[in-house]
């Protein structure tokens, strides 16, 4: 089984999205711009969707050789950063992105057919969950 990037409030601050939120909370603008300039495109999933997929595999007693659990959606980290910038009201001015980047997207079509896997939550819902959790954790 391949599990693509999946985020939840239980991920440590070493992972990309929790680390970004920590940078915004501490107003580390140079770090935020550095990540923005990397122009990362990724397949980010909500951990609850991935857990639901694992559950579906267990209850349907399916044991396929290879199955991918992912959102099957491409999300730009720069869009996430712009969202966080407006949320935290830092008014950072970002440069125009020039560098093209490679990306990897998880094709979950086999999981959809085999176990009726359908992601229900977007990566932005995961981000909002991380923001709520980070307020409680107080980085």
User: Which residue from 67, 71, 78 is spatially nearest to 115, judged by alpha carbons?
Assistant: 67
Q: In the chain, how many domains are there? A: 1
Q: What is the CATH number of the domain that holds 121?
A: 3.40.50.720
Model pTM? 0.83
Q: Which helix (H) or strand (E) holds 130?
A: helix 123-137
Q: What percent of the chain has pLDDT over 90?
A: 53
Q: What is the pLDDT of residues 50-80, one digit of tens each?
A: 999 999 998 987 678 889 999 999 999 999 9
Q: Which residue segment(s) compose the domain that 39 sits in?
A: 2-137
In contact, 2 and 69? CB cutoff 8 Å = yes
């Amino acid at each position: 089984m391949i599990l693509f990037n999946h985020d939840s409030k239980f991920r440590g601050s070493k992972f990309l999205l929790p680390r970004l939120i920590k940078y915004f909370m501490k107003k580390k603008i140079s770090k935020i711009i550095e990540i923005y300039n990397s122009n990362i495109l990724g397949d980010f999933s909500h951990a609850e969707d991935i857990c639901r997929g694992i559950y579906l595999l267990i209850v349907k007693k399916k044991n396929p050789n290879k199955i991918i659990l992912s959102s099957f959606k491409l999300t730009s980290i720069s869009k996430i950063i712009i969202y966080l910038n407006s949320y935290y009201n830092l008014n950072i001015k970002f440069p125009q992105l020039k560098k093209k980047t490679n990306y990897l997207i998880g094709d979950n079509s086999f999981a959809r057919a085999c176990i009726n896997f359908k992601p229900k939550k977007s990566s932005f819902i995961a981000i909002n969950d991380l923001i709520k959790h980070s307020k409680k954790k107080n980085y």
